[in-house]
Chains A and B, each alone.
Chain A
Amino acid sequence: QQQVKQSPQSLIVQKGGISIINCAYENTAFDYFPWYQQFPGKGPALLIAIRPDVSEKKEGRFTISFNKSAKQFSLHIMDSQPGDSATYFCAARRIAPSGTYKYIFGTGTRLKVLA
């Protein structure tokens, strides 16, 4: 119930194509689902996030699609660019028994966009 399963592990897309990364979860207590982007040698940075009462959120070329009944959410990168080449992590947040928030991260997807 703690896990967030992310796929694929790696992804190669042509410039201008659509990149799609999927995540699935079990725990219905998760209340917030962020995506992080990590470039080599850098820490993860928040890219876009969604709450479970919304089915889709779009920010520029990045869109999160959220399917509450299937317990799945995905990141779509439209018109993918070489500068999007990075590792992407999905995450899910819940309130722990201690009263604090805990983030569970997916295992990451390494995206390479070919020029």
Chain B
Amino acid sequence: EAQVTQNPRYLITVTGKKLTVTCSQNMNHEYMSWYRQDPGLGLRQIYYSMNVEVTDKGDVPEGYKVSRKEKRNFPLILESPSPNQTSLYFCASSLNLGGEQYFGPGTRLTVT
């Protein structure tokens, strides 16, 4: 089944404790992206990647890192999480630039 998977689905952590949210797609898509969804703000792009080893900042990149060492994986790294990063995170992929985006099921992160 073609899909985007994220892990974990739920995470509660404390301020400053490094964490990684994994994202994997099995559709051989070139383009991958991370979004955060907050009430009243919709989805905002954090980082994106156009291909292996090619990443760039989205609209709200502060406090986040990403890497793209393999085409299928695009992990989101929070080196020192803060409470304002409490949010619902979505990974998305598309076959190419501008193509239909397929979203993962989301990761609900709470930072206390």
Contacts and interface: CB of A to CB of B under 8 A. Distances in A.
B103 A44 contact: yes
Report the interface size class on chain B. Answer: 20 to 34
B105 A100 contact: no
Interface stretch (B11-19, B38-46, B72-80): B38-46
Interface in B12-48: 40-45, 48
Contact of B106 (A32, A42, A101): A42
Contacts of A4: 42
Contacts, number: 48
A102 interface: yes
Given A41-B106, A43-B4, A107 B40 contact: yes
Report the interface size class on chain A. Answer: 20 to 34
Contacts of B44: 105
Interface in A76-98: 89, 93, 98
B97 interface: yes
B42 A101 contact: no
A39 to B, nearest CB: 10
B98 A43 contact: no
Nearest to B108: A41
Nearest to B49: A100
A43 B42 contact: no
A62 interface: no
Given A43-B4, A93-B98, A105-B43, A100 B103 contact: no
Interface of A: 4, 6, 9, 32, 34, 41-46, 89, 93, 98-103, 105-108
28 contacts: A9-B40, A32-B98, A41-B105, A41-B106, A43-B4, A43-B90, A43-B92, A43-B103, A43-B104, A43-B105, A43-B106, A44-B90, A44-B103, A45-B102, A46-B100, A46-B101, A89-B43, A93-B98, A99-B97, A100-B50, A100-B97, A102-B58, A102-B59, A103-B43, A103-B45, A105-B44, A106-B42, A107-B41
